[in-house]
Amino acid sequence: MRALTAAAAVTVLGTVVLGADPAHAAALTQCQGSETVTYSPGVTFTPQSIEITVSGRFSSCVDVSGRVTSGSYGERFTIFVGCNALLDGFEGRRVIVWNTGDSSTVEGTGSSTAVAGQVITTFTGTVVQGRFQGRSAVQTVTLVQPGFLKCLTTGFTGATGPTTLTIA
């Protein structure tokens, strides 16, 4: 949970990963979807304990085995953060539940960058348990960058944006 806490700084911007099926060594799985992150209370420049809720859905997956077509994940945790610390690197662990009924547990590291009003978070890791165990995964999430005025006043309370996942 401590690693996920560090991930929140970027989860505040987004994060996640997945892997590929060991029975299909040459398999390549690609997914597209969206991630929503909410912060309570809103994130301001004054660091404080923030409850973060992450909800993600891969609505369109192309898997060479033809079995995985979608997936979802969700998390809730509390971290101590402010607007100035949103781009910190992190370590995380996420469980993705697939349309097949099985799941993948991914462990990895992530980093975020602010580009043209957006925060782009890249999470790179390995599936350590479940479907695709032993495979590498890269997920990218793009969320709107917190506005300066929001950070000064009521706080940044959430964002939604696209995400992609590649498992090799």
* Structural domain total, the chain: 1
| Choice between 11 and 36, residue whose per-residue pLDDT is larger | 36
Count of helices and strands (H, E) across the chain: 2, 8
Alpha-carbon distances, residue 155 vs 6, 79, 141, 143 (angstroms):
20, 15, 21, 16
What is the spatial distance between Cα 46 and Cα 38, in angstroms, rounded to a whole number?
Answer: 18
**What is the predicted pLDDT for the residue at 79?**
86
CB 128 within 8 A of CB 106: yes
Q: What is the pLDDT of residues 23-66, one digit of tens each?
A: 444 447 999 999 999 999 999 999 999 999 999 999 999 998 88
Residue 133 lies in domain: 2-167
- The pTM score is 0.80
List, in order, residues 6 or more apart from 112 with CB less than 8 Å away: 9, 10, 13, 14, 86, 87, 88, 119, 120, 121, 122
Cα–Cα dist 141/119, whole Å: 8
pLDDT at 16: 37
